[in-house]
Amino acid sequence: MRALAPLGPDDSRLLQAISRGEFHINGFRNQDLRQLLFEQPASLTTTEGCRQSGKVTRLLRLLRAHKLISKISKTHRYRLTKRGQIQITALLAAQNAATQKLTELAA
How far, in Å, are 6, 16, 90, 104 from residue 94 at the CA level? 10, 13, 6, 14
Residue 68 in contact with residue 81, Cβ under 8 Å? yes
pLDDT tens per residue across span 8-55: 889 999 999 999 999 999 999 999 999 999 988 777 778 888 999 999
Which residues, other chains included, contact 29 with Cβ-Cβ below 8 Å and sequence gap of 6+?
76, 77, 78
- Domains in the chain, ordered, with CATH? 9-106 (1.10.10)
Model's pTM, two decimal places?
A: 0.84
